[in-house]
Structure formats: structure tokens, C-alpha cells
A and B are shown apart, each in its own frame.
With several copies, the nearest count.
Chain A
């Protein structure tokens, strides 16, 4: 059961829309940073490793933020 509890995060009741936006910001910053240090565009794995995420989750977070931003814009602006 400890195993189950480990899956639960402290910020668990936060909406995906908000949490994902934070990850997406980190991805954007990490991409800029790595582009400078590597002198080229980083790969998905390079971003994933530096943020301790899975490459698939990098793809998801990046996309979800794009999507939610556009929903936000159409609904609230």
C-alpha cells in the first residue's frame, strides 16, 4: 500500500491544466538553456533527462500547455 501512496503527489488535487502549464514552462526554459550550452537544438531525451521526466511526458506537457492556452484564449479573451 506504501507503493500505492507513493503514486499520489502532494499537489494531487491541482488541476492538470495548471500543473501541466508549469511543466511546459520548465520545458521551454530548459530548451533555451540547452540550446545555448549545446550550440544546437536539444533532443527530446536531453530535455527529459535534465527535467527528470519521461520523454513521452515531455511531449504531453508541451502539447497540453499549447492546447490549454488556446482554450483559455477562446474562452476568456
Chain B
């Protein structure tokens, strides 16, 4: 059975941990391990932070959208903004690449997503926005009694 949720929220940094927890709570019913939960919350943070600080650098009314879908043991998450977009996604994906070194960004956001998820797809168009699609299959060796 498929379970879907869609979320949209004001692109302000106070909502970052709300987004982490909302996605975490949605996937909690698959009973992931703490590692898996932490990994998923971390990638959601990275993508949401990117949407807020890179996607909407000068805008106050931007919204970030998240969609998540559970099928069996697979989690699919989409994070989307309608912000400034990127002209060179390949460059942006490089470890350590950041367009905002002055903000002390690490340039590791996309690298973290690639490390923690099974699949990372990025679509972006300047002036249209950015969509990140993340897929992770959860481990099945579940503790049966707790």
C-alpha cells in the first residue's frame, strides 16, 4: 500500500527542524534504525537549507515543498523550491563546491545526500527553481521484539 504526504512551508530557517521532524515522523512507521532516521533527517535538512538560503536568497514569501512516499521498505522524498535555480548542476554536486563561501557553507550538502541515500536526482533551471529527488531503501533486518 502506498502512503503519501505533501508539505509546503515558509522558506525561513526556523522551519528547518520542523521539516526534519515532519519527514522523520512520516517515515517512522516503517520503523527504521536510528542511523537510517538520522540519515534521512540529515538529507532533508541539507536540501531544505539549500532551498532556503540558495533558492530564495532575497525573498521573503518563498515556499519550500516536500513530498514523501512510502512503498514497502522504500522512501522517496522530493524537496522543491521555486527559487533562483542553478545553471550548472554538475558543478554544484562536486564535493566542497559552494557558491557562498562567505556564509561558511561547507559545499558538502549534495555529497552528504549522495552518501546517505541510494539515489539522488537534481533538476534545476535558472529562474524556475530546483527539485531534488531522494530515494532510500530501508534495511529489513528488523528487531522483532522491543
Residues of A within 8 A of B (CB): 3-4, 7-9, 11-21, 31, 38, 40-47, 49, 54-60, 63-64, 66-67
Are B146 and A46 in touch, CB under 8 angstroms?
yes
Interface residue stretch chosen among B14-22, B47-55, B72-80: B14-22
Residues of B within 8 A of A59 (CB): 21, 24-25, 28, 37
Of all chain A residues, the one with the shortest Cβ separation from B41 is: A63
Tell me the number of A-to-B contacts counted with CB atoms below 8 Å.
110
Main DSSP-derived SS at the A contact region: helix
Q: How far is the CA of A20 from the CA of B116 in the complex (A)?
A: 21
Q: How far is the CA of A40 from the CA of B33 in the complex (A)?
A: 9
Known contacts A12-B38, A67-B17; A44/B106 CB under 8 A: no
Residues of B within 8 A of A9 (CB): 34-35, 38
Residues of B within 8 A of A8 (CB): 35, 38
* Chain B residues bordering chain A, tally (CB within 8 A): 26
Are B143 and A43 in touch, CB under 8 angstroms?
yes
Main DSSP-derived SS at the B contact region: helix
* Smallest beta-carbon distance A11→chain B, Å: 6
Q: How far is the CA of A4 from the CA of B20 in the complex (A)?
A: 17
A selection of 13 A-B contacts at a CB cut-off of 8 Å is: A3-B112, A13-B33, A15-B32, A21-B146, A44-B31, A44-B33, A46-B146, A55-B29, A59-B24, A59-B28, A59-B37, A60-B25, A63-B20
Are B143 and A16 in touch, CB under 8 angstroms?
no
Q: How far is the CA of A14 from the CA of B108 in the complex (A)?
A: 27
* Smallest beta-carbon distance B39→chain A, Å: 7
* Smallest beta-carbon distance A57→chain B, Å: 6
Contact of A42 among B21, B33, B116 (CB under 8 A): B33
